[in-house]
Amino acid sequence: MTLRNADTLPVLLDRLAQAWPDHPAVTDAARTLSYGALRAEAMRLAASLRADGIGRGDTVGVLMGNRAEWLVSFFAAQYVGATVVAINTWYTAPELAYVLAHAEIRVLITVRRFLRSDYVDMLETLRPWELTVPALRTVVVLDDARDDWRDFLAAGAGVPDSEIAAIAQTVRSDDVALLLYTSGSTAAPKAVRLAHWGLIRNCFDIGERQRLTQNDVLFLPISLFWGFGCSNGMMAALTHASHIVLQENFEARQAAELIERFGCTAIYGTANIMQAILGLPDLAARDLTRLRKGLTFGSPTQMADVIGKLAPDICHIYGFTEGYGNSTVTDATDPAELRLWSTGRVLPGSELRIVDPADESVLPVGEEGEIRVRGCIMSGYHKDPAATLASHDADGFFRTGDLGVLDQDGNLRFRGRLKELIKTGGMNVSPAEVEAVLRSHPAISDAFVTGLPDPMREEIVGALVVLQEGATFCAEDLTRHCRAALSAFKVPRRIQPVDPAALPLTTTLKIHRARLAELFT
């Protein structure tokens, strides 16, 4: 049975439940659901959504940590032709209000509390809803002290499975299945529209690069509201009938325990997640020998640590929210040396080119320019046709705003964000290039480079460095190290150590580069 050619998400789950009804689909802190049980629970919730009037074109918000009900809610909405809005669990009340209103969410499925947020209290501060979030009419709260979930499910008891199945057959492959809001540092976030076909086909191909199979157990600590979690990890596993082990929120010691307990063979993790696991003092005492594959990204030094100490076949990736997870992925069978620096070749169904952003000319192999991708790309930004139009060039390629270089074999090397280029004395400096040189120094574990205002040069290069355990900071030594590898204008004029805990993060746990300058003293 081929899962890649499933036209829609209801068809995908139907096929999984038919072929592997008893195979584990998802495990969270409370239970394990088989593929048959996942479909049954999704169909039951779909009936309740239908009884509440939800149908094609409506939006359903999901706001909770990583738990089985996230997947149940996701598929239930797909069965009635609705669009899921994956809501960031870090949101404040104003941010939540913006998304609820902008996406016109009619039903919100949430939990009472997650970490330090009380969503019930947060929603109360938004009243009167008819003024702040006028589309919202139903809130379903998963909470032992409330009966919302049980009562909502009971309300759908009169809707037969045949009615849900008939609605599911009307869902089209180009319907919007998922809205993901970009993290947005200075302006309101944009909502990325992702269709059924892209979530299935692109993520199947991502899983193929990892060599995922139905025998794999994927450890997924990445928040499901983030594209790396839901439109990548979750879907890559599901399109290969793999077993997903969720961690509700990441904690390194518990992560290692879960990987060991369930014999996880694959892992999705950001660089900081991987480093936290690798830094556990009792890691060597745990049996993590089944762990071999998965996806991550980071510097060559970070990749070398993960490949050498945790998951030898792990893949390096490049992607963005608008591109259904990833656009390039290395192969699990690629030599380790290649996976250190390369983010791989473009996935099937997409094209990638490197463009000079100044004159739009396509650059040859080996020259650095803007990465542009055509093929498996979003259908547009929700309610923002102007931004959608501006995001593509005349040839239909998506303007990523990222810098990269292609080698003669089509492997991509990511070089940083175009807008992060430092303009110093009229010369452009790529932070990624300087960071790579700093990370090659034996005293440096990580480095973060940004521009600092300067009245003479417009900007100067500033570097924050994380020291290796036991290392001593010496700015002069690091400057000499940089001068040996970089042109003079690229050498940082200010270098200072930083505590990793002090680094500013976005709501999707990426380094908030716009705020790095605030750390310099």
pLDDT digits (tens, 9 = 90+) for 113-143: 999 899 999 999 999 999 999 999 999 999 9
Block residue for tokens 């930004």: 381
Cα→Cα distances 51→54, 142, 322, Å: 7, 19, 33
Q: What mean pLDDT is predicted for residues 326-336?
A: 98
Q: Kindly give the interhelix angle for 161-168 and 68-79, rounded to the nearest 10 degrees.
A: 70
Q: What mean pLDDT is predicted for residues 155-175?
A: 97
Radius of gyration over every alpha carbon of the chain, rounded to an integer in angstroms: 23
Q: What mean pLDDT is predicted for residues 257-282?
A: 95
SS3 call for 359? coil
Tell which residue, 381, 329, 427, has the closest CA to residue 179.
Answer: 381
Find the helix or strand (DSSP H, E) in which 254 lies. helix 252-261
Within this chain, domains 9-194 and 421-519 share the same CATH topology? no
Distance in angstroms (rounded) separating the CA atoms of residues 39 and 21: 9
* pLDDT value of position 188: 72
* pLDDT value of position 507: 60
Find the helix or strand (DSSP H, E) in which 493 lies. none
- Phi and psi angles of residue 515, each rounded to the nearest 5 degrees, phi first: -110, 0
* pLDDT value of position 94: 87
Q: Are 505 and 512 in contact (CB under 8 A)?
A: yes
Q: What is the domain partition of the chain in residue ranges?
A: 9-194, 421-519
Is pLDDT of 334 > 90? Answer: yes
Is pLDDT of 418 > 90? Answer: no
Q: What band does 301 get if pLDDT is binned at 50, 70 and 90?
A: confident
Q: Are 203 and 236 in contact (CB under 8 A)?
A: yes
* pLDDT value of position 1: 63
Is pLDDT of 456 > 80? Answer: no
* pLDDT value of position 508: 60
Tokens of 467: 């020291």
Distance in angstroms (rounded) separating the CA atoms of residues 449 and 496: 11
Q: What mean pLDDT is predicted for residues 56-74?
A: 97
Is pLDDT of 317 > 90? Answer: yes
* pLDDT value of position 185: 41
Largest Cα separation within the chain, whole Å, is 75
Q: What band does 184 get if pLDDT is binned at 50, 70 and 90?
A: very low
Q: What mean pLDDT is predicted for residues 445-451?
A: 93
Distance in angstroms (rounded) separating the CA atoms of residues 14 and 36: 9
Q: What band does 207 get if pLDDT is binned at 50, 70 and 90?
A: very high
pLDDT digits (tens, 9 = 90+) for 471-497: 999 999 999 999 988 878 889 999 999
pLDDT digits (tens, 9 = 90+) for 91-116: 888 889 999 999 999 999 999 999 98
Block residue for tokens 């076909």: 197
Task: DSSP for 134-145, please give it.
Answer: TT--EEEEE-TT
Q: How far out from the chain centre does Cα 102 lie?
A: 21
N- to C-terminal Cα separation, the chain: 60
Amino acid at residue number 38: L
Look up the CATH number of domain 421-519. Answer: 3.30.300.30
Distance in angstroms (rounded) separating the CA atoms of residues 304 and 371: 25
Q: Name the CATH superfamily for 9-194.
A: ANL, N-terminal domain (3.40.50.12780)
Distance in angstroms (rounded) separating the CA atoms of residues 286 and 210: 24
Block residue for tokens 């074109």: 57
- The share of the chain scoring above pLDDT 70, in percent, equals 98
SS3 call for 54? coil
Those residues with Cβ within 8 angstroms of residue 171's Cβ, 6 or more apart along the chain or in another chain: 8, 9, 10, 56, 78, 81, 196
* pLDDT value of position 233: 98
Task: DSSP for 316-341, please give it.
Answer: EEE--GGGTS-SEE--TTS-HHHHHH
* pLDDT value of position 426: 67
Q: How many CB atoms lie within 10 A of CB 107?
A: 24
- Phi and psi angles of residue 336, each rounded to the nearest 5 degrees, phi first: -55, -40
Is pLDDT of 444 > 80? Answer: yes
Tokens of 485: 């590898």
Distance in angstroms (rounded) separating the CA atoms of residues 74 and 221: 18
Distance in angstroms (rounded) separating the CA atoms of residues 13 and 63: 22
Say how many residues make up the chain: 521
* pLDDT value of position 430: 81
Q: How far out from the chain centre does Cα 502 lie?
A: 22
pLDDT digits (tens, 9 = 90+) for 18-39: 999 999 999 999 999 999 999 9
Torsion of CA 346, 351, 352, 353, to 10 degrees: 150
Q: What band does 433 get if pLDDT is binned at 50, 70 and 90?
A: confident
- Phi and psi angles of residue 281, each rounded to the nearest 5 degrees, phi first: -65, -25
Q: Are 507 and 462 in contact (CB under 8 A)?
A: no
- Phi and psi angles of residue 317, each rounded to the nearest 5 degrees, phi first: -140, 160
Q: Are 382 and 198 in contact (CB under 8 A)?
A: no
Is pLDDT of 76 > 90? Answer: yes
Return the higher-pLDDT residue of 1 and 284.
Answer: 284
Find the helix or strand (DSSP H, E) in which 206 lies. helix 196-210
Q: What is the 3-state secondary structure (H, E, C) of 269-313?
A: CCHHHHHHHHCCCCHHHCCCCCCCEEEECCCHHHHHHHHHHCCCC
The b-or-e profile of 294-303 (16+ CB within 10 A means b, else e) is bbbbbbbebb
Q: What band does 257 get if pLDDT is binned at 50, 70 and 90?
A: very high
Q: Which of 35-39, 264-268, 457-461 has the lowest mean pLDDT?
A: 457-461
Average pLDDT taken over every residue of the chain: 94
Cα→Cα distances 157→51, 75, 161, 386, Å: 9, 18, 10, 44
Q: What mean pLDDT is predicted for residues 294-313?
A: 94
Tokens of 490: 């690229």
